[in-house]
Each structure stands twice: as structure tokens, then as C-alpha cells.
């Protein structure tokens, strides 16, 4: 549901940047949506399709990367990939872990002319 708000924010940020850069047509947007960001990639793509009548975004392809959830163990200090939302160290089985990455949601870059 809130993906529309998020895509709206993406459209605003890119439009502002494109105006400064003098870019009139965007061809590609690279978005990073970590697997634990809470935003759904399919819903982001659907929401983006609603903005395609804006001339700046008419031919823009939205690519979304989905980096894994990486956690760090507070006991053995090793990093591991969190599978199936199991926040338990893959090396020492402790549950006292902190999330290192995978919650990010940001525009990485865009291309246009």
C-alpha cells in the first residue's frame, strides 16, 4: 500500500536532480531495495507504472536490486546471510545478532539525456 508513497518520493527526487542536470528523458533507474526494507518490489514496479505518463519517465526502465539481509553476530562477530528471517548466527547459533544491511531502500543511479 505505501509503495505508492515511496515511488512518489523517488519521482520527486529524480525530477529535482534531472532539472539540475538538464536531463529531459530518463532511460534507466537503478533502485536498491534490501530484502528487509519492508517495501515489496512487485508493488514498487506497479506503482511506478502509474507515473509513466510524465514525459521525463515515459521511456524509463526501473531496475530493482534486492540485496540479501546480512547480520553480524554479537558473540562471534562473524557476518552471515539471514535466510527465512531466522536471526540466528550461522556459525555459533546465538540469537544475539544485529542487522548489518538489507534494510536499505534508495535510488542508486539513473541514466538519461
Footprint of another protein (CB under 8 A): 1-2, 5-7, 9-10, 13-14, 17-18, 21, 23, 27, 36-39, 85-88, 95-97, 99, 104-113
**In terms of CB distance, is 40 or 79 closer to another protein?**
40
- Whole-number Å distance between alpha carbons of 58 and 40: 23
Which residue, 10, 40, 42, is CA-closest to 109?
A: 10
Degrees, nearest 5: CA angle 29-60-53:
130
In whole angstroms, the minimum distance from the beta carbon of 57 to another protein comes to 14
**In terms of CB distance, is 22 or 53 closer to another protein?**
22
In whole angstroms, the minimum distance from the beta carbon of 37 to another protein comes to 7
In whole angstroms, the minimum distance from the beta carbon of 5 to another protein comes to 8
Amino acid at each position: 500500500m505505501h509503495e505508492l508513497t515511496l515511488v512518489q518520493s523517488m519521482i520527486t527526487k529524480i525530477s529535482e536532480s534531472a532539472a539540475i542536470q538538464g536531463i529531459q528523458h530518463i532511460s534507466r533507474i537503478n533502485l536498491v531495495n534490501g530484502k528487509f526494507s519492508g517495501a515489496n518490489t512487485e508493488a514498487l514496479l506497479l506503482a511506478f507504472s502509474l507515473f509513466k505518463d510524465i514525459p521525463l519517465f515515459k521511456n524509463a526502465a526501473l531496475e530493482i536490486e534486492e540485496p540479501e539481509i546480512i547480520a553480524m553476530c554479537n558473540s562471534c562477530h562473524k557476518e552471515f546471510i539471514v535466510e527465512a528471517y531466522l536471526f540466528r548466527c550461522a556459525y555459533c547459533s546465538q540469537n544475539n545478532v544485529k542487522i548489518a544491511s538489507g534494510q536499505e531502500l534508495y535510488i542508486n543511479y539513473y541514466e538519461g539525456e
